[in-house]
Amino acid sequence: MTTTKKMLALLGLACGISLTPLNPALANDTQYPQKPISLVIAFPAGTTSDSIGRIFASELSKSMGQPVVVENKPGGNATIAAKHAVKAKPDGYTLFLTTNTSHSAAPWLLKNVGYDPIKDFTAISRIGNIPFILVANNNVSANKVQDLVSLAKQKPGEITYASGNATGILAGATFSNRAGIDMLHVPYKGSPNALTDLMGGRVDVMFNDLPSSLSYIQSNKIKALAVASAKPSAIAPDLESMEMAGINDFDLSAWMGVFGPAEMDPAIVNRLNTELNRIIADPAVYKKLSDMGFDAFGSKPDEFGQFIAAQLDVWGDMIKEAGIEPQ
């Protein structure tokens, strides 16, 4: 060792300073982000998830000091976007905004999703719930859930229900099972097409998310029968819940959250979690989301991870009970 190096080493010891590199996590936390961040969304542009995701992307851009660019990668019950996300570097520059479709439902609806919904992702934060409601076209002679149940019992196999996503598929099948009725399932590639046919009278009913249904209900193009939850919704207080309608053990909504690839730096995860929770706590942003029909709330990363694991079991049990076979 040269005299200079010896002196530096002794100086470091004397001052209690380590000459080893800084903790990478701390270094990443202070330096992150240094370039644009990609927010992968599992659904098409114009959908509820996309609209909500773009609000978060815009707010994150402001708080993180770097552009957050939305990438829509729809298809395959959200598995296309999920597989794209898990292949990205776990450096915090690829985030994945999704719902229960990719993590709770698809693993049971498909024989091979191509990823592990728990091990292949880093849970960053749950950001809220999308309430689902039961809606009908205006020609259907039912204004309440029990009206629809009576009608379906009079015409077994004739009442049609559309679906545009995994939640809609499971909601329709579970409702039929719990109500003891037989309805004909008409699947669509997405909710917009299903809603168009519902308004046109080509299908009778569907379970759809409240945000994308709201304007059509307000303009009297379709009618709402109930919220797809056991308890009434604060966002739609005038609608009866499934429990109020006499359909027990029926409680369905779509959760939404943000993930990254597996093995992300905990410091970066905590920074993103803090920013997402701060966005939700902003009264102006919260009101904007609430007006859309989105029930926004945050979580800690570990809470979200535990929730995801529990929901995988919950949805698996419901899908099996509904008799839906994986495709």
Is the CB of residue 289 less than 8 Å from the CB of residue 52? Answer: yes
Residue with tokens 């590639």: 189
- pLDDT at residue 270 greater than cutoff 80: yes
| CB-neighbour burial class of residue 195 (10 A; exposed 0-12, middle 13-18, buried 19+) | buried
Q: What is the pLDDT confidence band of residue 46, given thresholds at 50, 70 and 90?
A: confident
Q: What percent of the chain has pLDDT over 90?
A: 68
pLDDT at residue 35, rounded to an integer: 97
Q: Considering the chain, what is the average pLDDT of its residues?
A: 88
- pLDDT at residue 301 greater than cutoff 80: yes
Please state the rounded mean pLDDT for residues 180-200. Answer: 92
pLDDT at residue 30, rounded to an integer: 59
> What are the structure tokens assigned to 211, written together?
């945000």
Paired with 327 in beta bridges are none
> What are the structure tokens assigned to 1, written together?
């060792």
SS3 135: strand
E strand map for the chain: 37-41, 68-72, 94-99, 121-137, 160-163, 184-187, 205-209, 222-227, 253-261, 295-296
pLDDT at residue 321, rounded to an integer: 84
The helix or strand, by DSSP H or E, that contains position 171, with its residue range, turns out to be helix 166-179
Q: What percent of the chain has pLDDT over 70?
A: 91
- pLDDT at residue 250 greater than cutoff 90: no
- pLDDT at residue 314 greater than cutoff 60: yes
Please state the rounded mean pLDDT for residues 251-271. Answer: 95
